[in-house]
């Protein structure tokens, strides 16, 4: 939580931790709204609300119906929905994004940010990372990866002019994530380049019109942490927003690598916040710190609970599933106060299984669930994709810990459990805290970002402990981060409650 000081108050980055990349933000009066990429997960595009740019609360998902988010059953991990942009214009909220698995670029709209949002209006433009901006004459401009711009009719998706070439950066790879902002008499084009890994940068150009010609900032990139030992890395894919008091801020993605070279960012790319100052008509930014001076006065929202008792009539918007969530795969009414899941696939190793989870948001975390296996095979899993996940599951009177790492699948430990409900827990801790066990190679966890311990019932001794590096982007590749959740791969099982939060001081000691 932010700490007040005699000169103001400070906040901790990231402001939205966990797998929340490619942030885009807009302000309406004194309220801010932010969206992120969701890739192969359904529902898609989480939307957040804040009153101070620091405290954020998820209020829904923009793409919460299959008609808005058609994803093939076999869509690859890290495909799906890329890089949304959210804007407010003429009394409506507008969101443009790309479904790389089906259909390309499209726009949805809503009167209220929590929805409902419209079905897609498709746009015949190339690339990804589309952006929306309106000029003083009411023309709508769409910028996209490359970088190009086009004048469009946002109601129909028709391209009215262009696409026109725009400024494509300083020559680094992957000029992308363009955002157009009108500030005074200038249009500013903010882009990312250098790739979304450690070479990521933010660069800026300006013009008198969205048509150009574009003038590059005298010092580009305006932000990068490449080649440094800063604890925050991969800074890029940024968007700008001003406060009611006229201050400017930037939201962006970045990572917090841990462990030995090359470093592993297990939570994915996260949303950070950093101040922007204007000098000689150009934005100046950075570096992005883990602790920053906050804008204005703190106006915290009610904090989202870290436990779900499944007493509501609908699932909390934080729950996501790979590709789809068929109506017949889950129920909150079959057993009131429980989440009941029905198997739709026989293994987490393949698409089509029943899995619902939350994004892991804490580097040192504890996730606990109360499971009644009923007639099924079910458990708790930390997932990166079908080829990279760790599970603790119960079936046929036994609890097992299973590791899937690339082509390898292994049951690492097993023990009997009594009939009826059982508590399962997964904790993550820094690897440096764990000494090698008797008979274990001393280098097993050397340099790992963390290790995961799997607990069954009240037993304080873990059933197994596994190296966390294999559930990282550096190993698995892709664009996502860990998602921890519950699943069923045979029959039916029910879950009484689910809790995910940071380790407290006692648990961490």
The count of other CB atoms within 10 Å of the CB of residue 193 is 24
Name the nearest CA neighbour of 50 among 91, 97, 16. 16
- Show the CA angle centred on residue 100, arms to residues 138 and 409, nearest 5°: 150
Within 166-245, strands assigned E span 176-183, 186-193, 201-207, 215-216, 223-224, 233-242
User: How many Cβ atoms sit within 10 Å of the Cβ of residue 358?
Assistant: 22
Q: Is 176 a catalytic residue?
A: yes
Whether residue 22 lies in the annotated active site: yes
Cis? peptide before 116, omega within 30° of 0: yes
Where would I find the beta strands (DSSP E) of 36-91? 41-42, 44-50, 57-63, 81-89
CB neighbourhood size of 499 (10 A) = 16
Nearest to 202, CA basis, from 184, 189, 183: 189
Q: Are 389 and 471 in contact (CB under 8 A)?
A: yes
Q: Are 301 and 55 in contact (CB under 8 A)?
A: yes
Q: Is the peptide bond before 287 cis (omega within 30 degrees of 0)?
A: yes
Q: Which of 22, 40, 308, 391 is catalytic?
A: 22
Considering only CA atoms, which of 361, 475, 359, 351 is closest in space to residue 79? Answer: 351
From its phi and psi, is residue 387 left (phi > 0), alpha (psi between -120 and 50) or beta?
Answer: alpha
* Residues in CB range of 471: below 8 A, 6 or more apart: 266, 382, 383, 384, 388, 389, 390, 452, 482
Alpha carbon distances (Å) from 189 to 7, 225, 372, 383, 384: 34, 20, 54, 36, 33
367 in Cβ contact with 456 (< 8 Å): no
Q: Which of 40, 131, 176, 270 is catalytic?
A: 176
Reference 484, options 458, 459, 509, 454; nearest CA is: 454
Element (H, E) at 106: strand 104-110
Using an 8 Å Cβ cutoff, are 23 and 36 in contact? yes
* Of 41, 478, 16, nearest in space to 265 by CA: 478
How many Å apart are CA 216 and CA 199, to the nearest integer?
19
Neighbour count for residue 139 (Cβ, 10 Å): 14
The Cα 425–Cα 431 span in angstroms is 18
Are the C-beta atoms of 302 and 326 separated by less than 8 Å? no
Which of the residues are catalytic? 22, 176
């Amino acid at each position: 939580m932010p700490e007040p000081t005699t000169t103001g108050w400070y906040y901790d980055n990231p402001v939205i931790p966990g797998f929340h990349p490619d942030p885009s933000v807009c302000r309406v009066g004194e309220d801010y709204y932010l969206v992120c990429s969701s890739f192969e997960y359904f529902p898609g595009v989480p939307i957040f609300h804040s009153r101070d740019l620091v405290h954020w609360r998820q209020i829904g998902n923009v793409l919460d119906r299959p008609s808005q988010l058609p994803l093939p059953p076999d869509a690859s991990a890290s495909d799906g929905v890329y890089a949304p942009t959210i804007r407010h214009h003429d009394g409506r909220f507008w969101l443009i994004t790309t479904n790389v698995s089906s259909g390309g670029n499209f726009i949805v709209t809503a009167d209220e940010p929590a929805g409902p949002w419209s079905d897609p209006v498709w746009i015949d433009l190339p690339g990804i990372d589309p952006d929306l901006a309106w000029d003083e004459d009411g023309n709508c401009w769409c910028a996209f990866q490359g970088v190009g711009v086009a004048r469009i009719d946002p109601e129909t998706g028709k391209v009215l002019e262009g696409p026109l070439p725009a400024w494509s950066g300083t020559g680094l790879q992957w000029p992308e994530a363009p955002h157009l902002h009108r500030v005074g008499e200038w249009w500013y084009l903010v882009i990312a380049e250098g790739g979304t890994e450690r070479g990521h940068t933010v660069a800026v150009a300006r013009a008198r019109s969205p048509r150009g010609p574009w003038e590059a900032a005298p010092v580009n990139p305006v932000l990068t942490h490449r080649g440094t030992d800063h604890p925050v890395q991969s800074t890029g894919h940024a968007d700008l927003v001003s406060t009611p008091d006229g201050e400017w801020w930037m939201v962006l993605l970045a990572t917090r690598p841990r462990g030995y070279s090359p470093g592993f960012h297990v939570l994915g790319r996260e949303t950070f916040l950093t101040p922007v100052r204007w000098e000689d008509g150009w934005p100046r930014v950075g570096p992005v710190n883990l602790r920053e001076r906050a804008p204005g006065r703190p106006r915290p929202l009610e904090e989202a609970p870290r436990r779900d008792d499944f007493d509501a009539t609908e699932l909390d918007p934080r729950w996501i599933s790979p590709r789809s969530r068929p109506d017949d795969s889950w129920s909150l009414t079959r057993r009131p106060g429980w989440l009941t899941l029905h198997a739709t696939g026989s293994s987490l190793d393949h698409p089509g299984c029943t899995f619902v989870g939350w994004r892991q948001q804490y580097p040192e975390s504890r996730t606990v669930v109360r499971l009644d296996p009923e007639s099924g095979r079910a458990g708790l899993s930390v997932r990166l994709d079908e080829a990279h996940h760790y599970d603790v599951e119960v079936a046929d009177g036994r609890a097992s810990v299973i590791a899937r790492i690339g082509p390898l699948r292994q049951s690492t430990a097993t023990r009997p459990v009594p009939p009826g409900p059982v508590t399962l827990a997964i904790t993550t801790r820094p690897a440096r805290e764990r000494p090698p066990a008797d008979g274990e190679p001393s280098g097993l966890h050397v340099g790992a970002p963390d290790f995961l311990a799997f607990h069954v019932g009240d037993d304080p001794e873990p059933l197994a402990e596994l190296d966390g590096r294999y559930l990282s982007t550096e190993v698995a590749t892709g664009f996502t981060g860990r998602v921890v959740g519950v699943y069923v791969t045979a029959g039916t099982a029910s879950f009484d409650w689910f809790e995910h939060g940071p380790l407290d001081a006692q648990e961490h000691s």
